[in-house]
Amino acid sequence: MKAAVLVFPGSNREGDVAQAIELVTGRRPQMVWHGDGDFEKTDLIVVPGGFSYGDYLRCGAMAAQSPVMAEVKRRAQQGVPVLAICNGFQIATEAGLLPGVLMRNAQLKFVCHDVHLKVETSQSLFTNRYQTGQVIRVPVAHAEGNYFADADTLKRLEDRGQVAFRYCAPDGTVDGSGNPNGSIDNIAGIFNEAKTVMGLMPHPENAVEPMFGGCDGRALFEGLVDALT
Amino acid sequence: MTRIPVKLPNEPNLSPQIIAEHGLSEEEYQRVLAIMGREPTLVELGLFSAMWSEHCSYKSSKVWLRKLPTKAPWVIQGPGENAGVIDIGDGQAAIFKMESHNHPSYIEPYQGAATGVGGILRDVFTMGARPIANLNALRFGEPSHPKTRHLVSGVVAGIGGYGNCMGIPTVGGETNFHAAYNGNILVNAMTVGIARTDRIFYAAAAGVGNPLVYVGSKTGRDGIHGATMASAEFSDDSEEKRPTVQVGDPFVEKLLLEACLELMATDAIVAIQDMGAAGLTSSSFEMAAKGGLGVEVELDRVPMRESGMTPYELMLSESQERMLIVLKPGREEQARAIFEKWELDFAVIGHLTDSQRMVLRWHGDVVGDIPIPPLVTEAPVYERPWTLTPLPPALDPRSVPLPRDWRASLIALMSCPDLASKAWIWRQYDHLIMGNTAIRPQDGDAAVMRVPGGGHKGLAMTSDCTPRYVQAHPETGGRQAVAEAWRNITAVGARPLAVTDNMNFGNPQKPEIMGQFAGAIMGMADACNALDFPVVSGNVSLYNETEGRPILPTPTIGAVGVIDNIAHSVGSRITQAGLGVVLIGETRGWLGQSLFLRELHGREEGAPPPVDLAAERTNGDFVRSQIAMGRVAACHDLSDGGLLVALAEMCISGGTGAEVAQPAGNAVPSHAFFYGEDQARYLIASGSADDVIEAAHAACVPAVLLGYSGGPLLVVKDLLSLPLGDIKTAHESWLPQYMSAAE
């Protein structure tokens, strides 16, 4: 699997995701500077976490307008898979690759800790190494991760199986206790309609080694390798 | 050649009032006149004021700081540079320092704390290191003080806001509350970075004619005279000093970090220095002084945020996220391309000369011309009078009543502000970014981070000080702060290597305060010498007083150690049943200055626990050896709250109970045994407790089995039995409840 990781001014988890990809593929992904309108052909595009443009204006709003995102949208339309994590998820919603918005956390504070996620479907490029209904533990680290969409959009997401992960309690119960930011219906991650684009707030890339946060995020990257190699 | 500078339009004549406002004493101003041979211009006066401020010159503390040991075979750079540098093997260096931002954080907590983090990060990456971790030591006033909530909320948000955006994990620290900090909080921020030992950058300028380059943010009017403010006592109108607080932009600093590291990967740089306190003044001055050269600066070329700025403002602004670089000749365009890629300002603002003078030009005219060497050699150095604090009499534990309700006593301690969980704070900090955090906050005595590019190697880091001990007896308190930091590094299995100190004290012109400073230094020097734990960097913050009331003397110690194989590090969580709980070290039952005495009896009395440095060394080396042999599942040093608090912390964090007893025949009163704060002690949980105890006896280290882990309760034979959930709830709910009461 050949992967490309975008780098915007203010990106800061591009190294983490590059490290995770290198761990499962043995190959360093290409790092693509935001100002470059074009980049090598690739099997996967990653929009990483961070504070692109300092999160000024709205999180992700400025990055969504950068030259490289025009190219990402073009390739996404051609079916190239896009993994958008945290600030990447915010950028993807701003760029119209995914529906909904990410608002300020309900408690108005940055949150960093492990959360539990329920895998809503194993039927995707991104989740094929998980079981549907499996509970995994990965960290979150964000101030604006409170997912919201209008009722019609939510219904469409649910009907078409576009919810990828929900926050849950350690035993898999989906209720307020496991929700770190107030996201509607505990939504932690979603797909586009074709399930070729996935956005999520948690950081699977920070859960790929037993000594450094556990291994529950690793299957996401391994699943991508299976699907895209 | 001395040029008489031109006087600018609207430049006031120097009146005694203007001189006094610059914080210069009459005697100091006479020195200025002697050095200059004429009356200085306003910008020159500003320069003297900043460079001779307590903050920049260490004039009251210098004679004492010299007593600290600063050398060891692994020390590459001791105090005097932007940060300290130690060799951690494999061609890698750890670069670290701690610095205070106390006064600004009290006036404007978010920006004050944020720019404190920004400043210490720059100190570390200026030297060529990529920062891998931040820590912070915070002291607030008593919780009932009307300002405390607001200050906690703002400081924590500011630290998180800056560090999170920079993408540097904030992995450790400490937070205390005490009425002595009501009007003067402490915000001490520490950064640890990693560099190659052959790619370390220093501030000493070299090469006459080499270009002086300004990079980063534009210069605005913020923070003018911050260094002078930080060198004066507070009065009740101190909030009116808000315009002297700088405003931070972590996004720009992130760009600056990446751009600097990119330029450092080339060989274009001769010297580099961040613009911190006293901005362009101290950075340009220090670079030239360290290189024994002169410098000519064309101030009109400095990138400016607003129009109409004067040379005085440009020289003294403390606008953040700026760096000064001396480049090799002809490398300007290579460097410019990197900074423009990162959308940062880049300007050649001057060059080095052989004149040993600092010449400031403004649209061609000379507006300042100061000889550099005398400003350093003739800077005031004070041997201020000092009176040592006498050692209070030791408190007899028998004079303190036993708890009537042991359960209530443990709950009260575990939920008191100083011991309650600080998760509400560190969960607002990204402590996981970079993917190197092996021991997270609250999971061990020190944070343990993988060293990028260092194979299996890990770095352990911590910050420690027990101000009530220092207040009671500064020498003991100074020893204890160093010893506790050394223990915390040891307790995770790492070898302690070096420290950075952040000396927070009151007004040094009072002999008793100067005596606290002197005493603390003497104690620290003893401990650093005995433990081979040199001081490689530091910062002094004096005049921490409001309306004449000083803070508790607080010499915060930041420490770093190395562990060769990070897989061998241990945390403090007891996660399995059947482990032997072993107490290492001698327990005499020292209740003087203990939290038990303060929290349950409202008494802050007695001598602090004595620190036997030989025992520290022996016991610590023993514990480290047992960890290295794989015999230790969890380890916790005993400090605030004593044995039972430590055990409770180990149990609730790991979700496993324990059943222990005071050893038969031990004559120490039970409250002094379980809550006494004797030093040089550790609690370890081990699957091979017998082997540990046998080895301890062979090494002449006191060790005794107290009981075993397991079950849902914490049980102390004959004294208490408590469900872990009850302790955990009390421990974890105090701070969130306290903070939410404001919302």
Per DSSP, the residues of A187-213 read EEEEE-TTS-EEEESS-GGGSSBTTTT
Q: How far is the alpha carbon of B718 from chain A, nearest alpha carbon, in Å?
A: 36
A86 carries an active-site annotation: yes
The beta strands (E) that lie in B316-417 are given as 322-327, 345-353, 357-362, 365-371
Confidence at residue B245, expressed as pLDDT on a 0 to 100 scale? 73
Flag if A110 and B429 touch (Cβ within 8 Å). Answer: yes
Per-residue pLDDT, averaged over B310-322, amounts to: 92
Task: Look at strands B447-450 and B458-464 and give their pairing.
Answer: antiparallel
Side chain identity at residue A44, one-letter code: L
Distance of CA B729 to the CA centre of its chain: 31
A203 carries an active-site annotation: yes
Flag if B167 and A54 touch (Cβ within 8 Å). Answer: no
Q: How far is CA A181 from CA A105, A107, A163, A188, in A?
A: 5, 7, 17, 10
Nearest CA in chain B to A111: B428
- Which residues, numbered 145 to 204 in chain A, qualify as contacts with chain B under a Cβ-Cβ cut-off of 8 Å? 203
Q: Which residues of B touch A (CB under 8 A)?
A: 157, 160-161, 164-167, 249-252, 254-255, 341-343, 426-438, 450, 566-567
pTM of this structure? 0.96
Q: Alpha helix locations (H) across B299-417? A: 311-316, 332-341, 372-377, 406-414
Per-residue pLDDT, averaged over B158-177, amounts to: 97
Distance of CA B353 to the CA centre of its chain: 36
Q: Count CB atoms within 10 A of the CB of residue A106.
A: 15
In this complex, the residue of A16, A50, A111 whose CB is nearest that of residue B427 is: A111
Confidence at residue B243, expressed as pLDDT on a 0 to 100 scale? 59
Instruction: Identify the residue among B432, B437, B735 best suited for mutation to test binding to A, counting A beta carbons within 10 A and taking the highest.
Output: B432
Strand partners, B560: B461, B498
Q: Which two tokens stand for residue B309?
A: 């700025």
**Confidence at B179, pLDDT banded by 50, 70, 90:** very high
Rounded-to-integer distance, Cα B306 and Cα B222, Å = 11
Confidence at residue B277, expressed as pLDDT on a 0 to 100 scale? 81
Q: Which two tokens stand for residue B592?
A: 């003087």
Confidence at residue B454, expressed as pLDDT on a 0 to 100 scale? 86
From the list A59, A86, A116, A120, the catalytic residue is: A86
- Residue boundaries of the structural domains of chain A: 3-228
Rounded-to-integer distance, Cα B211 and Cα B331, Å = 9
**Quick check: B121 pLDDT over 70?**
yes
Query: What's the burial of B26, exposed, middle or buried (CB within 10 Å: 0-12/13-18/19+)?
Result: exposed
Collapse the DSSP code of B346 into the 3-class scheme (helix H, G, I; strand E, B; otherwise coil) and give the result.
strand
| Catalytic residue ranges of B | 55, 101
Residues of chain A with pLDDT under 70: none
Q: How far is the alpha carbon of B252 from chain A, nearest alpha carbon, in Å?
A: 8
Among the listed ranges B113-122, B168-177, B230-239, B562-571, which one has the minimum average pLDDT value? B230-239
**Confidence at B693, pLDDT banded by 50, 70, 90:** very high
**Quick check: B223 pLDDT over 80?**
no
**Confidence at B5, pLDDT banded by 50, 70, 90:** confident
ipTM of the complex: 0.96
Domain range A3-228, CATH architecture: 3-Layer(aba) Sandwich (3.40)
Determine the Cα angle at B490 with ends B519 and B80, to 5°.
50
**Quick check: B139 pLDDT over 60?**
yes
Q: Count CB atoms within 10 A of the CB of residue A160.
A: 12
Q: Chain B contact for A214, CB < 8 A?
A: no
Flag if A51 and B165 touch (Cβ within 8 Å). Answer: yes
Q: How far is the alpha carbon of A75 from chain B, nearest alpha carbon, in Å?
A: 26
Determine the Cα angle at B650 with ends B605 and B491, to 5°.
80
Taking CB atoms and an 8 Å cutoff, what residues of chain A touch B157? 109
Q: Between A and B, how many residue pairs show a Cβ–Cβ distance under 8 A? A: 85
Rounded-to-integer distance, Cα A38 and Cα B651, Å = 55
**Quick check: B229 pLDDT over 80?**
no
- Better-scored residue on pLDDT, B201 or A37: B201
Strand partners, B705: B582
Collapse the DSSP code of B321 into the 3-class scheme (helix H, G, I; strand E, B; otherwise coil) and give the result.
coil
Mark B89-111 as b/e (b = at least 16 C-beta within 10 Å): eeebbbbbbbbbbbbbbbbbbbb
Closest CA to B553 of B502, B596, B486: B502
**Quick check: B228 pLDDT over 80?**
no
Rounded-to-integer distance, Cα B327 and Cα B288, Å = 13
Closest CA to B222 of B322, B120, B125: B322
Determine the Cα angle at B233 with ends B228 and B239, to 5°.
85
